Amino acid sequence: MSQIRFQRLISDRGICVHYDVAEFQEDLAHLKAHRIPVEKIVMPARDELHE
């Protein structure tokens, strides 16, 4: 997936294109603390990876 396509994908999901590693780590910690399965949220759909 190209960088532009990835940026469009995260933008379509309402995620800021300038989302950084620290914010990602905070979000992961929140999900884990609330026992929310991370893989269901982090992984894009298989068809989105191969577009």
Looking at residue 33, what is its pLDDT?
93
Looking at residue 18, what is its pLDDT?
80
Domain that holds residue 31: 3-49
pLDDT in tens, 7-49: 888 888 888 878 788 888 898 899 889 988 877 666 566 665 5
Question: Structurally, how many domains does the chain consist of?
Answer: 1
Residue type, position 6, single letter: F
By the 8 A CB rule, do 27 and 16 touch? no
